[in-house]
Amino acid sequence: MAGGAGGEVVLYESPDGEVRLDVRLERESVWLTQAQMSELFGRERSVITKHIRNVFREGELAEKGNVQDLHIASSDRPVAFYNLDVIISVGYRVKSQRGTQFRIWATRTLKGHLVRGYTLNERRLREKGFGEIEQAVGLQARTLSAHERIRLHASGSTAVIPAKAGIQCLSVA
């Protein structure tokens, strides 16, 4: 995450529908900016800033590894993103019910991502429908099938590899 805008972005929506955030999912954690935490917890940004500063000053968490600066399109300078540990610490300090709801959502989302290796973007699903997913799954299935055919046939003299425009045969020596 250092310096670039990689990772996945998933939608968090509070149970009451009042808060909708695009949450960055990367390096086995979720990441929010101070502005996003302010919206999530329903507190002024200055309050969030104070709590973050205290989390680090009191030694509850180390700044290194819990904060990443990213260059994003809407800002001239890098923006600090804070991982789930910081978000949870701030949530406890502001005593926010939404913080508890977010922690539950984030934990469930991260566990699912680690088990499956991917996260479904529900907003994108609603907007684009299942056609895009069906195409992606089909492509993945064809790719895996091609790899399997290569593995099975590589012991002989010919390997069949699907090409973009058809089938190619490669001689295996």
**pLDDT tens-digit series, residues 115-139:** 555 555 555 556 666 565 566 666 5
Q: What's the pLDDT tens digit per position in 99-111?
A: 788 888 887 877 7
Beta bridge partners of 82: 32, 67
Q: How many CB atoms lie within 10 A of CB 119?
A: 16
- Per the model's pLDDT, the better-predicted residue between 133 and 74 turns out to be 74
State the pTM of this model: 0.60
Q: Are strands 79-83 and 158-163 parallel, antiparallel or unpaired?
A: unpaired
Please give the mean pLDDT across all residues of the chain.
74
In this prediction, residue 22 carries a pLDDT of 86
Q: Work out the pLDDT band at 170, boundaries 50, 70, 90.
A: very low
**pLDDT at position 58 over 90:** yes
Q: Does pLDDT of 63 surpass 90? A: yes
- How are beta strands 20-26 and 29-32 bridged, if at all? antiparallel
Q: How far is the first Cα of the chain from the last one, in angstroms, to the nearest whole number?
A: 43
Which residues fall within 8 angstroms of residue 63, CB to CB, at 6 or more apart?
A: 56
